[in-house]
Amino acid sequence: MKRFWLFFLVNLMVLPVAGGIRLPHLISNGMVLQRDKPIKIWGWANSREKITVIFLGKTYNTRADDEGEWSVDLMPARAGGPYTMSIMASDTIEIKDILLGDVWFCSGQSNMVLPIERVRYAYPEEVARAENDHFRQFLVNTNAVFTEPQKDVTGGTWSPVNPATILRFSATAYFFAKSLFEKYHVPIGIINASVGGTPIQAWMSRDALKNFPVYLGEADQCKDPEYISRIMEKEKKQAQEWYNTIRASDKGLLHSPPWYDPSFDDSQWPVMTIPSFWEEKEPAQINGVVWFRKTIVLPENFVHKPASLLLGRIIDCDSVYINGVFIGTTSYQYPPRRYNVPGNILKPGENTIVIRVINFRGRGGFIKDKPYQLIAENDT
């Protein structure tokens, strides 16, 4: 499939809107400002309008230019807070709960995107004890733009750490910031602007791409909405045709009974020890569908209560059945597999777990060094 680059160009300035002061989303309640450095505050107002900013007992005056854009540079200040900032013109805006500390811009691909939600079961006490108003994240919304740098991000707020908000924090950024807070004991602000799978050129300006004519050409092509539409439609069609083909030829779904049915006889199937990749075993070099079945015996005290089936990570996607009942599916390889099993599914004695794996390309199978287990309360 043809690839095209998504350009995520963030220029935190505001779009001109008639009447009153306007601020970028980043300059908002709960923000963390960099300590011990001059601080730029900017926004938009009416053309040539006088702007007054009051912060930490100091007053700063400026005037919007002909386009309505304005900015002021505040004096450096020590770590602390919370503080309030007033911005006045024809109207007044108060920004509350401001902290001064260290601000870090965190960006990257899936390793930076990965939220605490994905690893919450590996760090249950971390989530339960999360309560730190001096540690905050601003999560930049993903917005693919191909034409020009944007004047503002499309949304976002500053969120302190607590058991509810921590699940949306980048795990990498969270533990990085936590270590900084424990070392320096000053407020920490994280600006998280990351998008999984994006190449470095997707984050570069047009001027920066001038030394890379191939990428510059692709960037210019992507300015055409019809070109983007054609590419997306083509890739969507190719993907749908691929899925339709493997589904139409999947013996496990066509067989009577289907292979996820407990009554199906799998006694002649080859055996494979997992976690492993099937290239290491049999069958090798398969891109498509591979079925796995496992029969386990459960005692009476394990059943009749909700359970969780942990299947590590699987390349690439999977659908899971227990005793013929569909339990869940995951569409790509990176999320950890943790499927909730209703209390009425498991039974004393034999239970059949079936996994239908689809591998798109390369090695397919089960990632090692991940948890593979069935858990019901304190039983495993």
* pLDDT score for 287: 83
- What domains, with CATH codes, occur in the chain? 32-202 (no CATH), 256-375 (2.60.120.260)
pTM listed for this prediction: 0.81
Summarize pLDDT for 188-222 with one digit per residue, the tens: 999 999 999 899 998 888 899 999 999 999 999 99
Question: CA 169, 174, 178, 179: dihedral to nearest 10 degrees?
Answer: 180
* Alpha-carbon distances, residue 62 vs 14, 16, 41, 122, 179 (angstroms): 17, 17, 11, 51, 39
DSSP state for residue 271 in the 8-state scheme: P
What tokens does 15 get?
């779009």
Per-residue pLDDT 10s for the chain (380 aa) are 333 333 333 333 333 344 589 999 999 999 999 999 999 999 999 999 999 999 999 999 999 999 999 999 999 999 999 999 999 999 999 999 999 999 999 999 999 999 999 888 889 999 999 999 999 999 999 888 888 888 899 999 999 999 989 999 999 999 999 999 999 999 999 999 999 989 999 888 889 999 999 999 999 999 999 999 999 999 999 999 988 999 999 999 999 999 999 999 999 999 999 999 887 766 566 788 999 999 999 999 888 889 999 999 999 999 999 999 999 999 999 889 999 999 899 999 999 999 999 998 888 999 998 899 999 876 66
What tokens does 129 get?
């004890």
Strands (E), 140-287: 158-161, 188-194
